[in-house]
Each structure stands twice: as C-alpha cells, then as structure tokens.
C-alpha cells in the first residue's frame, strides 16, 4: 500500500490543497503563484520519486512569506501523516548534490524533533525590475533633501520571482510540520540559481532515503526510546 496523505490547509493568509504520495513516480502538478518556487517543488518531487499535487493561493499582494512558509509546513505535515507510525523506515538520510560549479549537501533525521539549519548564500542585484543598490541612493537623496538622519538596513533578494530569504522559511516550516531535523549547506558555487536548485535536489534525495523502508527493521521503530 502506497504511503500518502491529502491536505487542505486554510488560514486567513493562505489556502493550500493537494496530495503527497511518498511511494510515487516523480509526477507533479504544482501551482503556488511563484513560478520559481513551483520549479523547486517540481524538482523536489522528481528527485524524491514522490507524487505531488499542490495548489496554493496566498496573499502575494502583501508578500511571498506566508505562501512559501505555509507550503513548507503543509508538506512537512503531509510527510508526517503519510509515514504513519514510522516503523521500518530508515529515519535518516543524506545526499551530496553537484550541479555544475555548485556543490550542496543535505542531511535529514525524521526524529520527532523539529529543527532546521540552512546555510545558503545567494547574491542577486535586482528585486523585480529595480536595482537594489538604488534603494540606498533614494534614501541618500531623501536625507539630503530633507536634511534628516535616515538609518535603514535592507537585504531583500530574488532568484527568478522568489525572495531568496524565504528558502530558509520553507525549510523551517517543513522541519516544524514533519518534526524533523533538516540541515542544508552549499559548500561552494557561483550561481545563485544553482545554489537553491542544488539544495532542493539534495533535500529531496536525502528525504527519499530517510523515508525508504528498511527490510531488516520492518516492524521496528528506528529509535531505542520507543518513540519518534
């Protein structure tokens, strides 16, 4: 019997509906309103050999944060539900993913304890069609014209149409929903696109290993505590 879970999460900020199958074939139908994020979830599904149908409608007119984080929480909860009592699974998995000049590593423990560490450094120069360095020039000009002190610290970055800081929020949400340890790190690389893509691929393959069944421990919980 395939391990799967349906989900329908509704808040005042987001509505997320779909189905995740752990023992899938890499098939997907994903629509979040953030195309680059869709692409990452498609990669996650294919490389994890899952099946995923996901439709998310969020308050993107406000920000992408609610949509990205809530999708992470929802997918984490779906994994938790689909795995059931978690008897006979590997529980932990890791993967090192090369992507051209970039190398990323992911390690996951479905331990029952949520924690995420994401070491991801990306550098891009635009938000939408605005050069981010010009934000500073605007406020320099305003301070000069108004003869005022203005102190600001702004760091908002995008790859495609995704705010890159929200990659952390997605994995934080997943770790919380799945009650899992998630550690991700880009060891090196130049392309911001490759950094994020390699992390999602490594994450998917590490999760695939963690969810896989261990024939030798088929009826046993992978913990000496007797609880996950």
> Using CA atoms, how far apart are residues 20 and 114, in angstroms rounded to an integer?
20
* Phi, psi for 178 (deg, rounded to 5): -90, -10
**What is the reported pLDDT for 160?**
72
The pLDDT of residue 23 is above 80? yes
**What is the reported pLDDT for 69?**
93
**What is the reported pLDDT for 56?**
97
**What is the reported pLDDT for 186?**
93
Mean pLDDT of 86-108: 94
pLDDT digits (tens, 9 = 90+) for 146-200: 665 655 555 556 677 788 888 999 999 999 999 999 999 999 988 888 888 999 9
Q: Which residue has the higher pLDDT, 132 or 65?
A: 65
Strand partners, 83: none
**What is the reported pLDDT for 78?**
95
The pLDDT of residue 218 is above 90? no
pLDDT digits (tens, 9 = 90+) for 116-146: 999 887 765 444 434 444 455 555 665 776 6
Average pLDDT, the chain: 87
pTM for this prediction: 0.85
**What is the reported pLDDT for 129?**
39
SS (H, E, C) the chain: CCCEEEEEEECCCEEEEEEEECCCCCEEEEECCCHHHHHHHHHHHHHHCCEEEEEEEECCCCCCHHHHHHHHHHHHHHHHHHHCCCCCECCEEEEEEEECCEEEEEEEECCCCCEEEEECCCCCCEECCEECHHHHHHHHHHHHHHCCCCCCCCCCCEECCEECCHHHHHHHHHHHHHCCEEEEEEEECCCHHHHHHHHHHHHHHHHHHHHCECHHHCCCCCCCCCCC
**What is the reported pLDDT for 19?**
98
């Amino acid at each position: 019997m395939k391990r799967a879970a349906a989900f329908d999460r509704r808040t005042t900020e987001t509505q997320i509906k779909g189905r995740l199958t752990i023992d899938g074939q890499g098939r997907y139908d994903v629509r979040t309103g953030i195309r680059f994020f869709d692409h990452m979830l498609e990669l996650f599904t294919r490389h994890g050999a899952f099946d995923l149908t996901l439709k998310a409608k969020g308050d993107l007119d406000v920000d992408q944060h609610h949509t990205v984080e809530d999708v992470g929480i929802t997918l984490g909860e779906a994994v938790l539900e689909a795995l059931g009592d978690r008897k006979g699974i590997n529980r932990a998995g890791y993967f090192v993913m090369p992507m051209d000049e970039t190398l990323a590593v992911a390690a996951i423990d479905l331990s029952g304890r949520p924690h995420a560490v994401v070491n991801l450094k990306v550098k891009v120069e635009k938000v939408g069609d605005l050069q981010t360095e010009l934000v500073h020039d605007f406020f320099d000009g305003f301070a000069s014209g108004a003869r005022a002190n203005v102190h600001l610290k702004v760091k908002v970055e995008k790859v495609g149409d995704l705010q890159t800081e929200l990659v952390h929020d997605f994995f934080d949400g997943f770790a919380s929903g799945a009650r899992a340890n998630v550690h991700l790190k880009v060891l090196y690389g130049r392309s911001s696109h490759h950094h994020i893509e390699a992390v999602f691929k490594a994450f998917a393959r590490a999760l695939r290993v963690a969810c896989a069944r261990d024939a030798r421990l088929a009826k046993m919980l992978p913990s000496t505590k007797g609880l996950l």
